[in-house]
Amino acid sequence: MHPDEYELLSTGADPVRRPDEGDVKPQSTWFGRRWRVGWRTSLLFTSLATLVVLGFNLGFLLWAVAHHTLHGDRGVLYEGNCSKVRKMSTGLHLLINILGTILLGASNYAMQSLCAPTRKDIDRVHAKGLWLDIGVHSPQNLLHFPWKRRLLWLALTLSSLPLHLVYNSTIFSTTSANAYNVFAGSGPPDHQTLASANLNNPDAAVRPSFLRLQDKAQNGTLRRLDNAECLNAYTTTYQTTYGCLVLVTDSVNATTFETVDTQTVYSPSVHNRALEPVEDPYRWTCPPNANHSCSTYLNDVRDQIEHNVWDVYQVIAQNNPGNAYRVKYCLAEELPQHCKLQYSLPLTVVVIVFNLVKAGIMCYMSFSAAESPILTTGDAIASFLHEPDKFSAGKCMISAAEIRSNRVMRRPYTPLSFLPIRERWQSAISDRKWWLGAIVWIVGITICLGLVGYAQANDGRDIWTAGFGAISAQTLIKGDTWPTDLTSNTIIANIPQLLFSLLYFIFNALLTGMTLAAEWSRYSLSHRGLRVSDMPRRAQRSSYFLSVPYRYAIPLMSVSALLHWLISQSLFLVGIEAYSPDLKRFPDRDVMTCGYTPTAMVSAISVGVVMLALLVALGRKRLASSMPVAGSCSLAIAAACHPSFNPNLSNADQKVPVDTEMELEPVRWGSVLVEGELGHCTFTSGEVKEPKDQGVYQ
């Protein structure tokens, strides 16, 4: 068994100076001794943030169960006005996204800490002729770490999957949709003709709704709509505001009304098995003998209304229209809305369980970590300056690319000539990582393009008129094999978010690697304080919380938030609760599926292409100096940190390093003065010169 298996981040003396050494007075309290260092404080805060989110989630569940009756596995938080439900849903989902971002951000920080090596890890791996990544989130490092750290990292990773897939859908809204009957008859503006009229050939199914209309006509509560208003109000996939409709016309007897059609609640699965336009959501507006979706004829209908020649045909059977009615205006029945804001008990419990897993792991890490991990390039430089790495001495001009090619391991290292060539930012990233990132990004964009093409081929030009997140018959996913339960549709609707998280992880890793190389190259231009993850001392500087300079991190987060929202509008959960024309619940016509918005898909694709193009353009920039590119390679970083080494002396004659705490001072990389023919380049707080063109260094 490996001796480190019972340690989280290893134990023993920390080779990097701590705040209780030298210039900082030791703290007298346990809190001060343990927590007055940067990365530990961040780890503590991330643990507390996770506990706060856990408290909120658990508190919400207890409150919801106590105050709202469960119906099956769902609870209704509010029922009523659809506009109010949408606003409440938007606000709560904004809160969920904030909490989810906090939770996933805290988890990512903990995962990066687990992937970050300690100095003991680096020494052990260097002794084998291998190297580790520093400053980037590198799961590859875990292959060299004790099993406990691997399990903790894996647990944090797996516990993130349910949060990506279901957290946003723990609270969801359903829309109430009304089926309705359409009648035609004559009547003056006072509605009295309807109140005293008879229904020709009344069907038992439609008579109750006609009698209800008569009562409302008597009370004067029907709403008069002109033809344009009537068409706009009723040509919607799901009718949430109005109920039964009267088309006022001179085409019938003054005291007799006719049944034009019964408009059922639109069901994607039933529509998929029917001929057009039998199951269209507003088929009564279609012209006779129509064989396409009624939405394709709306422009013609609007033109008829403009010229006061709007005719509506009685629906008797497919390709068998009945009487035609020239519409003067409409009388619409206004109905109370029954939209619902609901929560799912199983999904909420799943979120709480995995939230608890994350909180437990991060609290364990906070109180068991002994040695600080080397999180940043500055941490590594500070450690190697304080205690030089014996496995990289005499390799001062080595680059990460040469180490990745294994040329260093296959042959004895020889002195290299300095070439004043400024590499590009992209040279800090291996070709394998570039190809992986490009392939995954292109595959994601290709899938989106394929979905848009499929939608265009199946639903035609009408799909482009739907607004972001709008529910339209053309953009609801149909099919007999499509699942109709909440959980399955929730997972499907959130899969794009999971894929986006993978793309973001790859994108951020590439950007982080390049910005590390950019900052590294500037150490050849002037003396600069090191960026460290612990509490900065003297000339040292704080590291970036997001590992990326803020001038890149803030735009990246902003664009990522935009892309996150566009993806949420591209594929989304749709829940419909159906009501019959007699205002009773009609569960057979309930809908639970996913909808999509092609315009949002195209927008997301455009943003993704721009992000990829900007990353490639950034990679083509030249670095600030000709300093060998170390990237995140621990061996290349260590090779640049031998301030006391003289390549002209044997190992036995090398000077013993004198502890001058130079890691606390501004440092610079360059050629230092040594006795002998071979030159030497290193980080140091002393004076350096720029290496000579074609000069030989070791």
Quote the Cα angle for 581-582-583, to 5°: 90
Query: What does the pLDDT average to over 638-667?
Result: 82
Looking at the domain assignment, is residue 235 inside a domain?
yes
Task: Label residue 459 by pLDDT band (50, 70, 90).
Answer: low
Higher pLDDT, 352 or 2: 352
Instruction: For residue 447, report the phi and psi dihedrals to the nearest 5 degrees.
Output: -60, -45
Query: What does the pLDDT average to over 315-333?
Result: 79
Beta-carbon contacts of 576 under 8 Å, excluding residues fewer than 6 positions away, are: 174, 175, 176, 177, 238, 265, 589, 590, 591, 592
Looking at the domain assignment, is residue 565 inside a domain?
no
Beta-carbon contacts of 56 under 8 Å, excluding residues fewer than 6 positions away, are: 99
List Cα–Cα distances, 613 to 444, 554, 620, in angstroms. 15, 18, 11
Looking at the domain assignment, is residue 219 inside a domain?
yes
* Buried/exposed code over 668-689 (b: 16+ C-beta within 10 A; e: otherwise): bbbbbebeeeebbbbbbbeebe
pLDDT in tens, 166-176: 888 898 889 99
Beta-bridge partners for 176: 577
Looking at the domain assignment, is residue 607 inside a domain?
no
Token reading at 49: 């943030």
From CA 376, how far away is CA 278, in angstroms rounded? 65
Instruction: Give residue for tokens 């042959």.
Output: 411
Q: What is the pLDDT of residue 666?
A: 93
From CA 473, how far away is CA 97, in angstroms rounded? 28
Q: What is the pLDDT of residue 463?
A: 59
Task: Label residue 7 by pLDDT band (50, 70, 90).
Answer: very low
Task: Label residue 681 by pLDDT band (50, 70, 90).
Answer: very high
Q: What is the pLDDT of residue 195?
A: 65
From CA 475, how far away is CA 462, in angstroms rounded? 9
| Pair (182, 247) in one structural domain | yes
Q: Please count the CA atoms within 13 angstroms of the CA of 161 that sit on its side-chain side.
A: 6
Q: What is the pLDDT of residue 15?
A: 40
Q: What is the pLDDT of residue 293?
A: 80
Token reading at 456: 């265009």
| Pair (315, 406) in one structural domain | no
pLDDT over 60 (residue 95): yes
Q: What is the pLDDT of residue 190?
A: 52
pLDDT over 90 (residue 229): yes
Looking at the domain assignment, is residue 184 inside a domain?
yes
Q: Could you tell me how many residues make up the chain?
A: 698
* Range of lowest pLDDT (66-70, 306-310, 460-464, 474-478): 460-464
Q: What is the pLDDT of residue 476?
A: 81
| Pair (206, 329) in one structural domain | yes
pLDDT over 80 (residue 330): yes
| Pair (265, 202) in one structural domain | yes
**Helix, strand or coil for residue 589?**
helix
Mean pLDDT is highest, among 3-17, 146-160, 255-269, for 146-160
| Pair (298, 197) in one structural domain | yes
pLDDT in tens, 26-70: 443 433 444 445 677 778 888 999 999 999 999 999 999 988 888
Query: What does the pLDDT average to over 569-585?
Result: 89
Residues of the chain above pLDDT 90, percent: 30
| Pair (293, 407) in one structural domain | no
Token reading at 544: 């970036």
From CA 610, how far away is CA 604, in angstroms rounded? 10
Q: What is the pLDDT of residue 415?
A: 82
- SS3 assignment for 356-425: HHHHHHHHHHHHHCCCCCCCCHHHHHHHHHHCCCCCCCCCCCCCHHHHHCCHHHHCCCCCEECCCCCCEH
Task: Label residue 22 by pLDDT band (50, 70, 90).
Answer: very low
In the listed set 340, 368, 400, which residue is the last one of a domain according to the structure?
Answer: 340
| Pair (316, 186) in one structural domain | yes
| Pair (301, 392) in one structural domain | no
pLDDT over 90 (residue 604): no
Q: Please count the CA atoms within 13 angstroms of the CA of 501 that sit on its side-chain side.
A: 18
pLDDT over 70 (residue 273): no
Which amino acid is it at 375? L
Q: What is the pLDDT of residue 123?
A: 93
Residue 689 is given by DSSP the state B
| Pair (314, 224) in one structural domain | yes
| Pair (185, 330) in one structural domain | yes
From CA 250, how far away is CA 91, in angstroms rounded? 49
Q: What is the pLDDT of residue 12?
A: 37
Give the torsion sign (CA, 469, 472, 475, 479).
Answer: positive
| Pair (333, 384) in one structural domain | no
Looking at the domain assignment, is residue 532 inside a domain?
no
Higher pLDDT, 535 or 582: 582
The answer to whether 562 and 150 have CB atoms below 8 angstroms apart is no
Looking at the domain assignment, is residue 76 inside a domain?
no
pLDDT in tens, 508-526: 888 888 998 999 999 999 9
By the 10 Å C-beta count (0-12 exposed, 13-18 middle, 19+ buried), 551 is classed as exposed
Average pLDDT over all residues of the chain:
83
Instruction: Look at the chain and report how many structural domains it folds into.
Output: 2
Query: What does the pLDDT average to over 227-240?
Result: 92
Give the torsion sign (CA, 259, 266, 172, 96).
Answer: negative
pTM for the predicted model, two decimal places = 0.80
Query: What does the pLDDT average to over 536-541?
Result: 84
- H or E element at residue 247: strand 242-249
Query: What does the pLDDT average to over 356-365?
Result: 93
Q: What is the pLDDT of residue 179?
A: 94
Token reading at 460: 């035609």
Q: What is the pLDDT of residue 32?
A: 41
Higher pLDDT, 346 or 201: 346
| Pair (186, 322) in one structural domain | yes
The answer to whether 638 and 651 have CB atoms below 8 angstroms apart is no
In the listed set 279, 313, 340, which residue is the last one of a domain according to the structure?
Answer: 340
Q: What is the pLDDT of residue 226?
A: 93
Query: What does the pLDDT average to over 108-113?
Result: 87
From CA 698, how far away is CA 681, in angstroms rounded? 7
* Range of lowest pLDDT (140-154, 180-194, 355-369, 556-570): 180-194
The answer to whether 121 and 378 have CB atoms below 8 angstroms apart is no
pLDDT over 90 (residue 497): no
List Cα–Cα distances, 604 to 308, 501, 567, in angstroms. 42, 14, 6
Q: What is the pLDDT of residue 233?
A: 94
Token reading at 692: 């000579």
Query: What does the pLDDT average to over 467-489?
Result: 78
The answer to whether 310 and 227 have CB atoms below 8 angstroms apart is yes
Task: Label residue 180 by pLDDT band (50, 70, 90).
Answer: very high
Looking at the domain assignment, is residue 18 inside a domain?
no
- Give the 3-state secondary structure percentages of the chain, helix then strand then coil, rounded to 5: 50, 15, 35
The answer to whether 537 and 19 have CB atoms below 8 angstroms apart is yes
From CA 406, how far away is CA 404, in angstroms rounded? 5
Higher pLDDT, 202 or 366: 366
The answer to whether 53 and 107 have CB atoms below 8 angstroms apart is no
DSSP letters spanning 299-362: HHHHHHHHTT--EEEEEEETTEEEEEEEEEEEEEEE----EEEEEEHHHHHHHHHHHHHHHHHH
Q: What is the pLDDT of residue 223?
A: 92
* Range of lowest pLDDT (268-272, 282-286, 371-375): 268-272
From CA 313, how far away is CA 158, in angstroms rounded? 58
From CA 577, how far away is CA 176, in angstroms rounded? 5
Mean pLDDT is highest, among 14-18, 310-314, 473-477, for 310-314
Domain membership of residue 691 as a residue range: 376-421+626-698
